[in-house]
Amino acid sequence: MNHKLNSAEQTLEITLPGDLLSTNADQIRSEVFGLLETAPIKAGGWNTLKLDLTAAKMVDSVGLNLVVGLYKEAKKRGAKTSAVLSNSNIQRTFIFTRLDSHIQVIMDK
C-alpha cells in the first residue's frame, strides 16, 4: 500500500495493492487505519480521500465493507471520498450496492 498527501489539492491518495478480498482485507484495513492515525495524516490538510483501486480485479463483500469503513472514517473527519477504478465489474458492484451515491467513482481505463 502506498499513499501520497497532496496539500495543494488537499487530497490523501491511498493506492491499494490489488484485489480486496476476505483473505487480505483485515491486513489492508490494519495498514490503512494505522496510516490514518499517524501524526501527519491526523494533522489534516486533506479534505478528499482518494482510493486508487486500479490494481483490483475483484472486490468481495469483505472488501466492500473495508471501502465503506474508509468512507465513514473520511466522513467523520469532514472529508469526501472518491475511488479510482479500472475494472467495469467493480464499477457495477459500486452501482449495484449504491456505494456510488456516497463515493465518487472515477473510471481509469
Please report the pLDDT score of residue 45 as a whole number: 84
Domains in the chain and their CATH numbers?
2-107 (3.30.750.24)
Instruction: Give the list of residues 6+ apart from residue 9 with CB closer than 8 angstroms, or none.
Output: 48
- Determine the average pLDDT of the residues in 11-21: 95
Q: Which of helix, strand or coil describes residue 87?
A: coil
Question: Of all helices (H) and strands (E), which one includes residue 92?
Answer: helix 88-96
* Percent of the chain residues topping a pLDDT of 90: 90
Across-strand partners of 15?
Answer: 2, 52
